[in-house]
Amino acid sequence: MYEAVIGLEVHVQLSTDSKIFSGSSTHFGAEPNTQASLIDLGMPGVLPVPNAKAFEMAVKFGLAIDAEIGQESIFDRKNYFYPDLPKGYQISQFEKPIVGPGRVTISLDDGTTKTINVTRAHLEEDAGKSVHDAFDGMTGVDLNRAGTPLLEIVSEPELRSAKEAVAYLKVIHSIIRYLDISDGNMAEGSMRCDCNVSIRPKGSDTLGTRTEIKNVNSFRFVEKAINTEINRQIEILEDGGRVIQETRLYDPDKDETRSMRSKEEANDYRYFPDPDLLPVVLDDSFISACRDALPELPEARKARYINDYGITDYDAGVLVADRDVADYFADVANTSGEGKLAANWVMGSVLAELNQTGGAITDFAVTAKQLSDLIARIKDNTLNSKTAKTVFEALLASEGEVDAIIESKGLVQVTDTGAIEAIVDEVIAENPDQVANYRAAPEDKQGKMLGFFVGQVMKKSQGKANPQAVNQILSAKLSG
Amino acid sequence: MSHITDLSFSELKKALNDRTLSSVEITSAFLDRIDALNPTLNAFITITRDEAMQAANDADTLISQGAGTPYTGLPIAHKDLFCTDGTLTTCGSKILSNFVAPYDAQVVSQCKNAGLVSLGKLNMDEFAMGSSNENSYYGPVKNPWDTTRVPGGSSGGSAAAVAANLTPLATATDTGGSIRQPAAFTGTSGLKPTYGRVSRFGMIAYASSLDQGGLIAQTAEDIAHGLGLIAGHDSRDSTSADQPVPDYTQTLNDSLKGKVIGIPKEFFDDRLDSAMRQAMNEVLDVLKSLGATTTEVSLEHVAEAIPAYYVIAPAEASSNLSRFDGVRFGYRADSPTDLMDLYERSRGEGFGSEVKRRILIGTYALSEGYYDAYYKKAQQIRRLIRDDFNRALGTCDLLFGPTTPSTAFVIGEKTADPVAMYLEDIYTVATNMAGLPGGSFQAPLINGLPTGYQLTGRAFGESMILNAAHQVQTVTDWHTLRPEGV
């Protein structure tokens, strides 16, 4: 009955070594105010000098989403007072952003895709942080973050559900990681999201009154915050009320949004071009150098993986979403020469483990080399799927290299037909009733019944018997 | 030989280079004169005697070793909006009355690197907003020619100090006339260079797109020496020009034969005071006698310069002055009850009334719904003014006019009427709007008070301005006249 209309403003901290208008380090986690220069402190008389690296990163992002690049962009001042905003204004871009209209493609649950238009992306400086818990009854200000370059990416209100919003956010995340222009770490605030949400009766083409949920900092919270807000707005309309245009905050503990300030209280930011900075003029050679330096992007890599490794469209989509996972997979697939097995292992055991622990693949205990060694031992029949799992667990526990683990755990697969035959004979002798039933059954039923005998043989071999050999010998002996 | 403090910067340089005077002798002579006269004139906010004597000693050591630069040991004083490391830098404001700058402005470092000895920090209108130096938290500066009169502003301290021989050279800044108008009122030479010629790094901003650092001294030749020291590209100022710095002293004696001087008719309409017109004509006669020719030109939109200026400058100021919030430096109100109270009282108590007036004007001009009507319109006018100047300077080497409508007025005369005060800059503001260099140099006295004529040059044409002014000074004595009684 209702349809949600959602647009996202995504703030991405660019991973430049120094700040956007000063030479201070942007490294996260330093002691408060140790990475704040005179310029970051907004001392009287200081002036901003732009960091060309930030332009390069913004242009790469623009090229990656097929956007118009503003050949002349202008820095403006956004004026408001706040203790963590040292100059009393934020240097941002208003009328002429560096990146103009572009687009990204998201995949929906039903297997279809949808194009989401990106309105613009502009450069600005981050503010500092107010610290409310360090001093009793007082607020501290940490300006280490002040002046960190941000790229604010604004989408058109074309998202129709929280799930679509998350899918869009993940695509943006994937692109910035591929471009290596940000670490995209939402927990540390390197990527933050403001969600503009309104609802309207399905089929209507007028927009409802929107609210803006500020600073949501995880994919999960984006989904929950939007759903919570949609439900809140539906309840208001169902009760005959009206939604007020306002800024809201999402509280993940209570799973609710609450009002921060209404439109009437909103600041008039008094934007005007910053007279301390010249217009940024990007010449064609700069833009084409950025284009030449673009890495392979997720869509292109997906196509290549399908082609090179013979994996499915779905598998390729999962594997390329994260650049580091994709690199890890390619490493395993190339070293082992087994694309499909590599895909199964990465998507199965590896991602399951990462999801469970929340760790990063770059710090993963099992190296790509180790996993490809493991796959090689499966391929040469040293391991079967059961013993391979045991080895993987041992690798996770850093118990050593693949062959050493196989050796020490005595996991070498038994492929010696003589040894298997002896066990098969034992099993047949121990289970005369089942053997009789098997032999009496019609051929199309026998396949299923064979499983019981295979299980018995594997048990007796402690899982080490080669399942193919077991099958072969069993069916021969049972039918003979 | 005349007294040390009567000597011009160039004359002192010669004396130092010839070793007829030491830096210690020179520096202590000026410091003694400052001690004697500053209580009357109030030109200095801070006198750095100990640092100056130390620097003079060091300079003499360098000179005796044959080291240093040709300028090592010469005195200068800085307008109190140039940040000076370890020294109070007030901008003439209560809000910075406790602010010891943690770094040197680029201009200050350049002067230090050249070996100049700083005598102290000069009084000014608060945040360079004013045309009379009556807006200083540290009290008005008196005009040495008549201590009941203003020295002009905002660089009133710089101008009065040079006029009274308290320093042979002073830095100053000019956003709408703040170097040229006080130079005219005090019988000194002042130059506002092309926008971008001198780094703004460390110069506390009033209106960033108009502010430009420059100098006040006794003569054009002195300024030629000083400008060579402070001009040049600074990577810390994105708006600073990456243009080579010529030796401004090399072209001072070039002939003016064949030079064309444009006379904007808008500066000589029937509103011009007859005594001022006569003084200007005397200067023009000299220029013509030196071989220059004159031609009438028109700056069609120059009448709009003041209204457009009083939108753009306050707009930028309203934003530039936001950092003075009582949080990180400067004046903070006692026992604020909450954040808004901290902001409101720190700024309310810390800023003077003219600064508040301009912050309000600027805030209004930038507000949603008014921006297009005020700020954008003013920027359009600014472009038209720039076009006017460039057109006129396409056919002329320099433009000539009076610097001010009249001679120095009496303290308190215009304080009740801000608009009358704003009209003080009627001949000077347009130059800033066009970003061009402009100088004011001594013209004949009117009723015993100094006047100035103004030369406006092409972008980076400071050499031409200084050349013409120097040529006039070689055949006239207006620049040698000194106030009596101080």
Question: For the segment A235-286, what is each residue's pLDDT rounded down to a tens digit?
Answer: 999 999 999 999 999 999 999 999 987 766 677 999 999 999 999 999 999 9
In chain A, list all ranges with CATH 1.10.10.410: 417-479
The pLDDT value recorded for residue A132 is 87
B440 is catalytic: no
Residues of chain B with pLDDT under 70: 1-2, 485
Residues B178, B182, B186: CA angle, nearest 5 degrees? 165
CA distance B13 to B23: 10
Residue B219 domain-assigned (yes or no): yes
The pLDDT value recorded for residue B2 is 64
CA distance A378 to B22: 91
Question: ipTM of this model?
Answer: 0.96
Compare CB distances from B328 to A41, A89, A277 and report the shortest one's residue: A41
CA distance A353 to A437: 43
Residue A413 has pLDDT above 90, yes or no: no
Is residue B183 within 8 A of residue B159, CB to CB? The reply is: yes
pLDDT in tens, B425-457: 999 999 999 999 999 999 999 999 999 999 999
The pLDDT value recorded for residue A385 is 82
Among positive and negative, which fits the CA dihedral A12, A17, A22, A26? positive
Residue B186 domain-assigned (yes or no): yes
Chosen for mutation from A46, A94, A141 (greatest number of chain B CBs closer than 10 Å) is: A46
The pLDDT value recorded for residue A352 is 92
Residue B313 domain-assigned (yes or no): no
- Angstroms from A293 CA to nearest CA on chain B: 27
Q: What single string gives the DSSP state of each residue in B342-411? A: HHHHHHHHHS-HHHHHHHHHHHHHHSTTTTIIIIIHHHHHHHHHHHHHHHHHHH-SEEEEESSSSSPPBT
Contact B102 A43 (CB under 8 A): yes
CA distance A293 to B244: 35
Tokens of B192: 């506002």
Residue B442 domain-assigned (yes or no): no
Is residue A368 within 8 A of residue A335, CB to CB? The reply is: yes
CA distance A168 to A181: 18
CA distance B235 to B414: 41
Residue B159 domain-assigned (yes or no): yes
Cα–Cα nearest to B479, from B280, B220, B159, B191: B220
Contacts of B322 in chain A (CB under 8 A): 79, 81, 87-89
Domain range for B42: 4-254+456-480
Compare CB distances from B99 to A44, A46, A278 and report the shortest one's residue: A44
- Angstroms from B382 CA to nearest CA on chain A: 14
- To which residue do tokens 């309104």 refer? A198
Mean pLDDT of chain A: 92
The pLDDT value recorded for residue B393 is 98
Contacts of B102 in chain A (CB under 8 A): 38, 43
Percent of chain A's residues with pLDDT above 70: 99
pLDDT in tens, B55-69: 999 999 999 999 999
Contacts of B315 in chain A (CB under 8 A): 272
Domain of residue B89, CATH code: 3.90.1300.10
Mean pLDDT confidence for A370-382: 90
Residue B87 domain-assigned (yes or no): yes
| Helices first, then strands: H and E counts in chain B | 15, 11
Residue A419 has pLDDT above 90, yes or no: no
Is residue A348 within 8 A of residue A318, CB to CB? The reply is: no
Q: What is the CATH number of domain A417-479?
A: 1.10.10.410
DSSP state of A145: S
pLDDT in tens, A107-141: 888 888 999 999 999 999 999 999 988 888 888 99
pLDDT in tens, B382-408: 999 999 999 999 999 999 999 999 999
- To which residue do tokens 């000063």 refer? A22
Neighbours of B222 (CB within 10 A): 28
- To which residue do tokens 């021969």 refer? A476
Contact B371 A272 (CB under 8 A): yes
What is the number of structural domains in chain B?
A: 1
Is residue B198 within 8 A of residue B230, CB to CB? The reply is: yes
The pLDDT value recorded for residue B1 is 43
- Angstroms from B38 CA to nearest CA on chain A: 27
Tokens of A87: 């100059």
Among positive and negative, which fits the CA dihedral B383, B388, B391, B395? negative
Chosen for mutation from A38, A47, A94, A139 (greatest number of chain B CBs closer than 10 Å) is: A47
CA distance B256 to B465: 11
Nearest chain B residue to A280 by CA distance is B238
> A209: Cβ–Cβ under 8 A, 6 or more apart, which residues?
A198, A242, A243, A244, A245
The pLDDT value recorded for residue A182 is 96
